Amino acid sequence: MSELRQNIATREWVIIASERARRPNAFTETRQQPLTAERPPHDPHCPFCVGNEELDLEVERHPAIGAWQLRIVRNKYPALHDHGPVVRHFDGVRRTISGYGYHEVLVEHPNHNTTLGLMTHAEVRAVLAVYLSRGKAMSTDPRIEQIVIFKNHGERAGASLQHPHSQIMAVPVVPSDIRHRIEEARRFFDDTGQCVFCTMLADEVARNERIVYANDEFVAFVLYAASSPFHLWILPRKHRASFFHLDESELDGLADVVREVFHRLYYRLNDPDFNLVLRSTPAKEPENGYFHWYLAVVPRLSYMAGFEMGSGIFINPSIPEACAEFLRE
């Protein structure tokens, strides 16, 4: 029988449609295009491939001399521009803020035919290190309120280019979605004196029903109230509100979990389209006891339709416990 489950961190309800649930292996992609690894390592028409670099857009590269392993470039078609003041204008119901901010692209690898699940530990760690360093750098700008880091892989996830890349954006406002999550976390803390994310993590570790992979520092698990098939969170065991307060020594443990999760998704689900999103506290907010940064991993294996748009309640045609078991195998 179907049931409604609630994510206690966001207070969002999800329908686990067990009556029409599909077996986890039914979500294995039937692809119209080659797997990522089956593409050629170089595409002469790709702006991110070696030899096609648009050097006027480059912010930095690693290593700085010789053949590059990864590059940070300004987005050729940025949503925001990093010059000029932040000007606010209010006129009745019309509210605007000048489009100040940063919009950068991290080219994750020189090869066109790879992704996080196929990279080495060192290569994944290098990607995460740039997330950390560029986020820290943008946070020093007093006009910036929120750093948003995300990765789109595949057309259904919104990727317009196949070459492995992430995007790093910094905006002059705290988005309402972030504010909502912070307020819910603060409410839980006020009621219980505990971090809701730490509470969820402790429960997942104790039950061990939905954990996909874990090490001494990080845990990856399918959400109890997953809004879609194989919807995962990666949480640090150590409470910290901001990803950008992470110590670089912790990147090894994070790289281990990130690589393992995406390795399993790639091979068990046949290279699915996915979104990876960093959830972290606003740039100017100090460490606190109620928020807890994490990475959200959302394979794009189902679609949002009218009911989801009309109610805000997602229908998940899979069983989270079965999804986790499938990835553990």
CATH number for the domain spanning 51: value is 3.30.428.10
Residue 161 has pLDDT above 70, yes or no: yes
Which among 157, 130, 181 has a CA at the least distance from the CA of 292? 181
Position 25 scores a pLDDT of 75
The answer to whether 301 and 269 are in contact (CB under 8 A) is yes
Tokens at 3, concatenated: 């049931």
In the structure encoding, which two tokens stand for residue 256, read together? 């281990």
Percentage of residues of the chain with pLDDT beyond 90: 87
- On whether 198 is known to bind a ligand per the annotation, the reply is no
Structural domain for 245, as ranges: 3-328
How many angstroms separate the CA atoms of 157 and 10, rounded? Answer: 22
CB within 8 Å of 200: residues ≥ 6 apart: 8, 9, 224, 235
pLDDT value, residue 30: 67
Which amino acid appears at position 50 of this protein? Answer: V
Q: Determine if residue 46 is labeled as part of a ligand binding site.
A: yes
Within 10 angstroms of residue 249's Cβ, the number of other Cβ atoms is 8
For the chain, give the percent of residues with pLDDT over 70: 98
Q: Are residues 102 and 82 in contact, defined by beta-carbon separation less than 8 angstroms?
A: yes
pLDDT band at residue 281 using 50, 70 and 90 as cut-offs: very high
Q: What is the mean pLDDT of the chain?
A: 94
Task: Give pLDDT, residue 303.
Answer: 81
Rounded Cα–Cα distance for residues 308 and 12 (Å): 12
- Rounded (to 5) percent helix, strand, coil in the chain: 30, 25, 45
> What's the average model confidence in pLDDT over 109-116?
98
112 a known binding residue? yes
**Residue 195 among known ligand-binding residues:** no
Please give the pLDDT value at position 31. 67
DSSP annotation of 283 reads T
For the cut 70, the answer to whether the pLDDT of residue 1 exceeds it is yes
Number of domains in the chain: 1
- List the one residue out of 329, 319, 324, 125 whose CA is nearest residue 220: 324
Least Cα distance to 290 among 168, 194, 220 occurs for 194
Q: pLDDT digit string (tens) for 189-200?
A: 999 999 999 999
Q: What is the DSSP letter of 182?
A: H
Please choose, from the candidates 255, 185, 264, 207, the residue with its C-alpha nearest in 3D space to the C-alpha of residue 232: 264
Q: Is the pLDDT of residue 241 over 70?
A: yes
> Which ranges constitute the DSSP H helices of the chain?
121-139, 176-192, 196-207, 251-268, 306-311, 320-328
Q: Which residues pair with residue 8 across a beta bridge?
A: none
pLDDT band at 275 (very low <50, low <70, confident <90, very high): very high
Which of 116, 111, 143 is closest to 267 using CA atoms? 116
Give the pLDDT confidence score for residue 329 in this predicted structure.
85
pLDDT digits (tens, 9 = 90+) for 141-159: 999 999 999 999 999 999 9
pLDDT digits (tens, 9 = 90+) for 293-316: 999 999 998 887 898 889 989 999
Nearest partner of 69 among 157, 133, 11, 130, judged by Cα: 130
Before 63, cis peptide (omega within 30)? yes
Q: How many helices (H) and strands (E) does the chain have?
A: 6, 15
Question: pLDDT digits over 87-96, tens only?
Answer: 999 999 999 9
Tokens of 9: 């961190």
CB hemisphere CA count around 34 (13 angstroms): 10
Residue-wise pLDDT tens digits, 55-84? 999 999 999 999 999 999 999 999 999 988
Catalytic residue numbers, as ranges: 165
| The predicted structure's pLDDT at residue 21 | 65
